[in-house]
Amino acid sequence: MDCQTSASSRRSRSNSPLLEPYCDDFLPANAPDPAKLYPWVTAKSSQSEDPMVQMHEEMMDFYDFVQPSQGEVKAHNEVLERIEKVVKRLWPGTQIKSFGSLKTGLWLPNSDMDLAVFTPNRLLSTKYLIKELALELNFRKILCYQERVFRARVPILKLRDQKTAIPVDICFNIENGVTGVDMVKAYMDRYPEAKYITIVLKYFLRQRALNETYSGGIGSFLLFCTVIAGLQEHRRRFPQGGKFTLAHYFLHYLHFYGYELDISETGLRIAGTGAVFPKPPNSPALLTLICPQDDEHDIGQNSFHFEKVQEAFAAAYEVMMVQPFRKSGLTPLSCIIRADRSMLERR
């Protein structure tokens, strides 16, 4: 991987949130064996006659397929060690902790590595810390790309490791990310379906460049919270339970966010058993989702392009509802997720 490649040149042509049933950059749909065309598919999911069961099995296949290998975990640990040495050389007594998707099990190939740096002197400004660390990492030839994000609610240093090309996001003296790992795991214990839905949606959004909060999309933590809110809404509608598959929950999510949720009038809360609540009159048309760690913080307000995310979800729902999978040679997920280079390289 060329570490100097710009982000814009790496993006595929499927960035548009309005997904058509057949896209030019999707792999051909006429293969006799879907398992050979879509690398995450196993024989069990490809042979199911029931489309809902097929989607259920395929979502589990997809989750298993993208889990980090031992080599990938080792590479991430080595990046952490390299950065930790520099951080402690700059500020002795500093602690550095990993958090995010690698810790929660919601990791994707090429996902950002999330690190939190805790300095002994909390009076140092975040802007100063970001500049100093960026300069030192550059001097030590540890990074090959950097971006200093100062205007976000949580300023971060974004970089790419010179040796592995692994992307890294570093924040300073922020506890929420680290403490949030246990909270995410607790929610996944209560809602075991969440991890499968989240992983599929993360890849779906990443292929459309809608996965970064700082650019108006929906980041990993916010996405996870929307999945929990969607599952809570499903339970409210079916309080007696039932025989639901992952496909039922996934399609409910796409329909709820793609068609039902009016973000100018309705807000979401996931603490406890969750709630849908009316927003004040004349509220801006922005997603409102109350942080489960802080009732005063709306984690959705920075996703200023959420309407594009909604369009993508609506289009995906339409495609999956009308597509004759067996006749077209497609699988349910292959209608909305492209078998890209990173997928094919994981065969």
Q: What is the pLDDT of residues 207-264, one digit of tens each?
A: 999 998 878 899 999 999 999 999 999 999 999 988 999 999 999 999 999 999 999 9
Q: Measured between alpha carbons, how far is 262 from 26 in angstroms, rounded to an integer?
A: 31
Structure confidence at residue 128 (pLDDT): 97
Residues 104 and 246 in one domain: no
For the segment 295-321, what is each residue's pLDDT rounded down to a tens digit? 999 999 989 999 999 999 999 999 998
Q: pLDDT-based confidence at 15, cuts 50/70/90?
A: very low
Query: H-helix or E-strand containing 295?
Result: strand 294-298
Mean pLDDT of the 158-177 span:
94
- 3-class SS of residue 96: strand
Single-letter code of the amino acid located at 304 = F
Question: How big, in percent rounded to 5, are the helix, strand and coil portions of the chain?
Answer: 45, 15, 40
Query: In sequence order, which residues have a C-beta less than 8 Å from that of residue 240 and are 6 or more positions away?
Result: none
- 80 and 205, same domain (yes or no): no
The reported pLDDT for the residue numbered 36 is: 63
Strand blocks (E) in 128-226: 143-149, 156-161, 167-172
Domain end among 136, 153, 180: 180
pLDDT of residue 305: 94
- Residue type for position 168: V
Q: What's the CA gap between 31 and 331, in Å, rounded? A: 11
Q: What is the DSSP letter of 180?
A: H
Q: Is residue 4 part of a domain?
A: no
Residues 336 and 206 occupy one common structural domain: yes
The answer to whether 110 touches 139, Cβ cutoff 8 Å, is no
Q: Is residue 255 included in any domain, yes or no?
A: yes
Residue 134 within any structural domain of the chain: yes
Count of Cβ atoms closer than 10 Å to residue 1 Cβ: 12
Look up residue 229 and give its two tokens.
């809110």
pLDDT exceeding 70 applies to what percent of the chain? 87
147 has pLDDT over 70: yes
Please indicate, yes or no, whether residues 232 and 211 belong to a single structural domain of this protein. Answer: yes
Are residues 224 and 208 located together in one domain of the fold? yes
**Residue 121 sits in which domain range?**
70-180
The Cα 162–Cα 284 span in angstroms is 42
CA end-to-end span of the chain, whole Å? 17
- Both 223 and 304 in one domain: the answer is yes
Q: Are 316 and 336 in contact (CB under 8 A)?
A: yes
Look at the chain and report how many structural domains it folds into.
2
